[in-house]
Structure 1
Amino acid sequence: MTSTAQKLSLASLSALVVGSMVGAGIFSLPRTFGNATGPFGAIVAWCIAGAGMFTLAHVFRVLAERKPDLDAGVYAYAKAGFGDYAGFLSALGYWLVGCIADVSYWVLIKATLGAFFPIFGDGNTVAAVLVSSVALWGFHFMILRGIKEAAAINTVVTVAKIVPIVIFIVILLGAFETGLFRANFWGGAGMPEASLFEQVRATMLVTVFVFIGVEGASVYSRYARKRSDVGVATTLGFVGVLGLMVLVTLLPYAALERPEIAAMRQPSMASVLESVVGPWGSVFVSAGLIVSVLGAYLAWSLICVEVLFCAAKNGDMPSVLARENSRNVPAAALWLTNGVIQFFLVSTLFSEDAFLLMVNLTSAMVLVPYLLVAAYGFLVARRGETYDIRPEERFRDLIFAGAATVYTAFMIYAGGLEFLLLSTILYALGTVLFLYTRREQQKPTFNPREWLVFMTAAAGCVFGIYRLVTGNITL
């Protein structure tokens, strides 16, 4: 039972949303979009991504209010709508998304420091892994002291990391050149031959990556002082972060030519500011990136542990993961989460481009849980569940949930077959935990519909491994 002292305010919940969303991705936006398109294509891409993710955020808000008995949103909604195995897959996938994202954060931090301290290289040297491991377990023991204390630190870090982004925006607004923006509008000189659809599609995975975390308040709903705060925090966090991302993407086109932006090193926000104000700009943004990524890491650590704990508490993960310490922290889930992160950290020593792989894989994997949530929201509205209260909202919610379902399904297609197959490998292998849990509870493994889902995932796993072995998929 969560004590009153552990309850989180609207400000803390909003900070969880912002802290989850504002991480590494926002610092890479200028170059990513500069490689793909000009301001017009960027505006179209953000309209699609913003509208799509807004509909998904709306689904999370509605479900948080109309299904207050379902905690740990992403996992709980999938289970309620599509059964135990679907709920397990959502919990497993979302948990792995957080673990992989956390590893990518450590790699990026050390790669950023590598520009100033060569011993860290591209973030995958022995020194980088050792320092990251020390920091990983430092966060681990801090979180063990209490969720409320960790969330309070996250609120402070969230404020601190927004400051350099806002300063970046203010400086570029001051350097805004209308003529240069107009010249870049359709891509400018040297724009590769590509249709608008292909230009926009090239930005889709990164827009998914930077929006991951919009559900942060929903995942942590059991700690909210008021259930209505979950929806408000989700909306406030989404609108605020979307505004920052659009400005960070578009303003560089008014300070530099598109080919210059496309050729910059990552984190490209640092390179843009350096071009405008000099070397101190790169140092300033690099420092902001480190604070930002540490904040995102903390927020995602909290979310990962919460999802794993709630799944175990509800009987969909091994029961040992539901154990809490004296401070109401899911200690067993935290140990497993950080153990997995540590394993993947060590594995980066053998990877050529661990950061890029993990960003793309994170984006592809999170779309399956998102799709299940959107589809469940659609079912709730179509069936009229809980709509005896404010029935006039039913049609609106049905439209939003339907749009969110179409959007997430399209994003799975846009992400490509390669990362979908890599995702099925992890989902199929992770099913071992589900089999163990069902045996622990002496329950039948699958019903007929779940057997079909499992066989589909297993087939994708086998095909994915085959393509890895034959070199058709490279890591």
Structure 2
Amino acid sequence: MAIKKQARATKAQATKQFGVLAMTLLVISAMFGGGVFNIPQNMAQSAALGAILIAWMITGLGIFFLARTFQILADVHPEMTSGIYMYSRTGFGKLTGFLIAWGYWMSAAFGNVGYAVLLMDALNFFFPPYFKGGNSWQAITVASVIIWALSIFVMRGVKGTSVLNSIGTVAKFIPVVVFIVVLAFFAFNHHLMGSDFWGHLRDNALQDKPLGDIFDQVKSTMLVTLWMYIGIEGAVVMSDKADGRTVGRATFLGFIIATVLFVLVSIIPFGVFSQGELAAMAAPSTASILKALVGPWGGIFINVGVIIALLSSWLVWTLLVAELPWACAKDGTFPEFFAKTNANGVASHSLWVSTLVMQAAMLLVFFSNNAWNVMLSITGVVILPAYIGSAAFLWKVLATNCYPQKARFSRAGALVTSVLATLYGIWLVYAAGLSFILVGCAIYAIGLLVFIRARKEQSPDQPLFTRNEGLLALLIVIAALVGLWMLFTGHLPQVYQPS
């Protein structure tokens, strides 16, 4: 018996493969995709500097409380590995937990295809016009090869993936830091920053035009900042590979480092170019800015950084996209097929299915343009319930007096954190637009078929849905039909297209 206990302890210890540094780099890499290199144009597109500063204050506080939520939950419920769905499952039922997991999984898979499209577009800078738009046949072919190559690499084990990700994360910091230094110390003019602080003036020479109400300007930036921070939950998703304290520290450190860099990259360019000039910049706008200041090498330097950033983040999300279905299958949330692992301890079946989903989506890119951009934005919005569910679960833990008395974080602090994180999530839903949430319900509706399969495996003699679950499923199907009708009849408003 002692030998068996020791063996189990050794095995459990072996699964804790990530330390604070490796986990922090994973969180940062998950957030630091190609989008960071186009923040100046994305933020300036519909907002002036004053509104952007307000937006970052709102976002910074909101994401802070969201990160603190993950930190607190990792501390009080360390047994809930892959907590991004387990929190909702424990707090609000099996179907809710499944829907959170399914939406997050689809968002991750489609997001990886987004990385593929952006990577091909970056390659087009060096090999025009073969990869133009990221959806030529050459782009689809190369991207498909990379999708399978990354999956095969991840199949070899988590440790090798962690080492390569750490190298890639450090490497992609270099062009961001160089960009900030060049602008801040060699080109910055603080007088320019106040030229049209609130976006109310028209200046044809600077391409400035009135941008309207400040509230609408702030609201227009919310999907941009949402895309920047998707991945902050990376440590939580991979919490099976580290202890609770490591998960909490990595989440918070990743938030601090990413926020400082995001704000600097989006704000400093206003001391070099006007809002109108920044809004008209070609993607990636950091390359256009640096090229204008230092010559052609600036564009080359940034585009190389974009490629490194995309490959590094893509690698992390290949790991994450396999982790969640595997964790879900272990407790019956997903069909048991997804629980299979290979000799290296990697969720092989989950990864292969995820890769097939990504490959199918890649083929969809070939046949679509605007529709694909809408779907990519919708899958980003679909991740919001995972954030809201986690914050609401912490709220429920406190309301039901289940919060440990000896927790590292005070009960009052946890309550404030949970309430504000929940309100921030609801604000993001409002800023994103209800119409895209309705279309996103189509993704959830498809997932109901997988839920039914898992329910049949776990409880073959029980009804497929309880009364409350049946009502929720019906509402999702109705919302999906309404959303799809809006999509195909052209009733959806213009959506932010991530770059």
Q: Smaller-chain TM-score range?
A: over 0.9
Partner of 1:99: 109
Partner of 1:133: 144
Instruction: State how far apart, in whole Å, the 1-side matches of 2:15 and 2:62 are.
Output: 36
One-letter amino acid of the counterpart of residue 316, structure 2: A
3-state SS of the aligned residue for 1:183?
A: coil
Q: Deviation string for 1:352-390 (max 9, x for gaps)?
A: 146633542232111011111111111112223232214
Instruction: State how far apart, in whole Å, the 2-side matches of 1:465 and 1:178 are.
Output: 47
One-letter amino acid of the counterpart of residue 213, structure 1: G
Asked if 1:311 corresponds to 2:322, the answer is: no
Instruction: State how far apart, in whole Å, the 2-side matches of 1:391 and 1:42 are.
Output: 35
Partner of 2:90: 80
Query: Paired residue for 2:238, among 214, 217, 220?
Result: 220
Query: Paired residue for 2:487, among 461, 468, 472?
Result: 468
* Count of residues paired in the alignment: 474
Instruction: State how far apart, in whole Å, the 1-side matches of 2:414 and 2:252 are.
Output: 15
Q: Deviation of residue 473 (structure 1)?
A: 4.0
Partner of 2:198: 186
Q: Deviation of residue 418 (structure 1)?
A: 2.9
Partner of 2:76: 66
Instruction: State how far apart, in whole Å, the 2-side matches of 1:372 and 1:469 are.
Output: 30
Asked if 1:332 corresponds to 2:345, the answer is: no
Partner of 1:204: 222
Instruction: State how far apart, in whole Å, the 1-side matches of 2:352 and 2:359 are.
Output: 10
In the superposition, the TM-score normalised over structure 1's length comes to: 0.96
Q: Deviation string for 1:227-264 (max 9, x for gaps)?
A: 21111111100010000000000011001122111101
Q: Deviation of residue 461 (structure 1)?
A: 1.1
Residues 38-437 of structure 1: matches in 2 within 5 Å? 38-117=48-127, 118-174=129-185, 175-187=187-199, 189=203, 190-224=208-242, 226-353=243-370, 356-390=373-407, 393-437=410-454
Q: Deviation string for 1:302-352 (max 9, x for gaps)?
A: 111111100011101110100010110000000001110000001001111
Instruction: State how far apart, in whole Å, the 2-side matches of 1:221 and 1:297 are.
Output: 19
Asked if 1:12 corresponds to 2:51, the answer is: no
Q: Deviation string for 1:397-420 (max 9, x for gaps)?
A: 111110111110111111113311
Mean Cα deviation higher: 192-201 or 4-13: 4-13
One-letter amino acid of the counterpart of residue 143, structure 2: S
Mean Cα deviation higher: 461-470 or 374-383: 461-470
Unmatched runs of 5 consecutive residues or more in structure 2: 1-10
Percent identity (aligned) = 35
In the superposition, the TM-score normalised over structure 2's length comes to: 0.92
8 Å contact kept, 2:65–2:417 = yes
Q: Deviation of residue 471 (structure 1)?
A: 3.3
Change (3 A) 1:358 1:293: farther
Change (3 A) 1:227 1:468: closer
Q: Deviation string for 1:120-166 (max 9, x for gaps)?
A: 11000110000001111111111110012112211111111111111
Instruction: State how far apart, in whole Å, the 2-side matches of 1:282 and 1:356 are.
Output: 25
Change (3 A) 1:145 1:124: same
Q: Deviation of residue 185 (structure 1)?
A: 2.4
Q: Deviation of residue 448 (structure 1)?
A: 1.8
Root-mean-square deviation over aligned CA pairs:
1.6
Change (3 A) 1:130 1:24: same
Query: Paired residue for 2:476, among 457, 460, 463?
Result: 457
Q: Deviation of residue 5 (structure 1)?
A: 6.8
Instruction: State how far apart, in whole Å, the 1-side matches of 2:305 and 2:375 are.
Output: 22
Change (3 A) 1:2 1:391: closer
Instruction: State how far apart, in whole Å, the 2-side matches of 1:256 and 1:49 are.
Output: 24
Q: Deviation of residue 184 (structure 1)?
A: 4.0
8 Å contact kept, 1:206–1:363 = no
8 Å contact kept, 1:2–1:328 = no
Change (3 A) 1:358 1:283: farther
Change (3 A) 1:276 1:147: same
